[in-house]
Amino acid sequence: MSDLLQRLRGRGWRMTSQRRVVAEVLDGDHVHLTADEVHALAVDRLPEISRATVYNTLGEMVSLGEVTELSTDGRAKRYDPNAHRPHQHLVCSGCGVIRDVHPAGDPLTDLPPDQRYGFTVSEAAITYRGLCPGCA
């Protein structure tokens, strides 16, 4: 918990109440939130915080490499605070909820050199799709 906040502080990132609240909200929940959901939760703790600041802040966390941006099929982007723990995602086609999963093995090694077409491949992401218990 608040692992993210500690990482950000450790990098000497200028801290404000808005940034702290965004980091806490992101890290404190077990599901991956959209920017608007982050804003809604942030408002509970800091009523004056603006949507623009939430968007800007999330964007900076992504630039710093401390948060990963997940874009699922035309819906709003979701933000994943576990940027340093290798994992994959399970997405519900119904409600869009995203949950982390940890299958065995490294997907990167599954792509043989003759399938790389000269690309310098640096990461591999697996997205499993289906319906969550609530939507099934």
DSSP secondary structure letter of residue 15? P
- Taking the complex as a whole, the smallest distance from the CB of residue 29 to DNA amounts, in Å, to 16
- Taking the C-alpha atoms of residue 19 and residue 128, their distance in angstroms, rounded to an integer, is 31
- Taking the complex as a whole, the smallest distance from the CB of residue 122 to DNA amounts, in Å, to 21
Kindly state whether residue 99 participates in binding DNA, applying the rule CB under 7 A: no
How many of the chain's residues bind DNA (CB under 7 A)? 25
What crossing angle do the helices spanning 3-10 and 17-28 adopt, rounded to 10°?
A: 140
- 10/109 with CB nearer a copy of itself: 109
Could you tell me the CA-to-CA distances from 130 to 30, 78, 94, 113, 133 in Å, in that order?
19, 17, 8, 31, 10
Annotated binding-site residues for Zn(2+) read 92, 95, 132, 135
Q: Interface residues with DNA (CB under 7 A)?
A: 13-19, 34-36, 46, 48-53, 55-57, 59, 74-77
